Amino acid sequence: MVMKQNIINARITFKKSPIHVLEKFAFKDMPNACLTFKKNSSVSECVIIQTCNRIELFAASDNPNIDKIKSTWASLTGQEEGVFRDTLEVCENKDAYEHLLKLTSGLESLVVGEEQILGQIKESISVARQTRASGKRLNKLFDRSIRIGTRIRNSTGIGRGGISLGSMAVKLAEENVDDIKSKHVLLIGTGEAATMVAKSLKKRGYAFNVTSRTVERSIGFSQTLGGNPIKFEEVLSGFSNYEIIFVATTAPYFLVTFDKMKDAMKNKKSGAMILDLSNPRTVDEKVATIPGIKLMNIDQIAEMIEKNMKKRKDKVSTVENIISEEVPVIEATMKRLDAEPLVKDVFTNADSIRIKELQKALQMLGETDEKRIKIIDELTKAVVESIVSTPMNNLRRASEQGSPELLEIASKLFNYKKKE
């Protein structure tokens, strides 16, 4: 019996979970996690992609069971199964292929087009291969997707010249404040915008304090993205300690008020730059009237990268069009793999019969001339291949077109039994 293999993608990403929550779902030992999923979750192949912005499982299974995947994931990370209800996204087959292509081309990244994710995907499939957690299906899918993603990046330039909101904010701070490494820097927030700021600060080697309304969030954030976590209460009464303040929260009120900053600047010898990346704004605009303070809000920062983002958005639609053309090709390739074990088995059995009957015939003829034997051998190979090739190619095409019933009939005709 020929079993159809499904490709499943189960993921938790920054789109539904903040960074400090994502960390709770991360696997400490990825090779072991892959093998555990294979053992306990009814999957035959497994690849895990794990970054600070996403944890994703790709698996092959002839009997997908999302509940088993959830329970295995929960046991590996010490979580309750109920926590997956609002965070886990799941897709299969065609949708999973499209998602992987969007990953390799950079469309799913926090900063569209960023290069790092492609290297992380290459590393993930490499680890899965080394531990034999992946097999011919996921190896084929990832190899093809990496090649397509690389080609898309090269042909569209989706990753060239891009700058995120966080990177632009840090760049503006560099342009307005001398020698940032000697200054005290504060980051308020642990969400998407704060993540981009933290990545940019860390990349440039700038030390910074980070705070959130709960110290647990700050600690989880800092363990993944750097920064020194401090209590929220200390920040509200200690704005005078900082020369650069990045504010990136979703608070429905002004965190940085006119009165607090006025008090902070009374005895402060140096000025302060405040960059408000919050939407809605969480820094009172009147703060900009205080002597020594330079305030920039999200609209001003976004305006500076608008031209860049317009070019990027134009490229996104081009990338999406290429992906929509490539998905059916990958889908046909993956479906064809369902027929390959049967095709290989038929060719192997036919050749075994050919060799057996050839040896009988040569004995009966008493043929010993090597040149003649070679001619007869090549003749029998050609005859068998001519007879078998057409129906086998038709089976491959039927598999590509999604006709499993023909595969089932063929498996019965040829007495094919799936090898475990």
Predicted confidence (pLDDT) per residue in 150-172, tens digit:
999 999 988 776 667 788 889 88
Q: CA-based Rg of the chain, rounded to a whole angstrom? A: 30
**1 band by pLDDT with thresholds 50, 70 and 90:** very low
Determine which of 103-107, 262-266, 317-321 has the lowest per-residue pLDDT on average. Answer: 262-266
pLDDT tens for 13-37 read 988 887 667 878 989 888 999 999 9
Residues, the chain:
420
Amino acid at 181: K
Q: Are 214 and 244 in contact (CB under 8 A)?
A: no
**Could you give the residue numbers annotated as active site?**
52
pLDDT greater than 60 at residue 3: no
| Residue that the structure tokens 């059995």 belong to | 349
Class of domain 165-291: alpha beta
Q: Are 144 and 327 in contact (CB under 8 A)?
A: no
Q: Where in the chain are all domains bearing CATH 3.30.460.30?
A: 6-160
pLDDT at residue 346, as a whole number = 77
Q: Which of 335, 400, 415, 336 is nearest to 1 (CA)?
A: 415
Average pLDDT value over all residues in the chain? 86
Helix-strand-coil percent breakdown of the chain, rounded to 5?
Answer: 60, 10, 30
Tell me the sheet residues that pair with 276: 247, 297
Q: Where in the chain are all domains bearing CATH 3.40.50.720?
A: 165-291
The fold for domain 6-160 equals Beta Polymerase; domain 2 (3.30.460)
pLDDT greater than 60 at residue 419: no
The whole-number average pLDDT for the span 334-347 is: 74
Tell me if the pTM is above 0.85: no
Phi and psi torsions of 297, nearest 5°: -105, 175
Share of the chain above pLDDT 70, in %: 90
Establish whether the linkage from the previous residue to 18 is cis, with ω within 30° of 0.
no
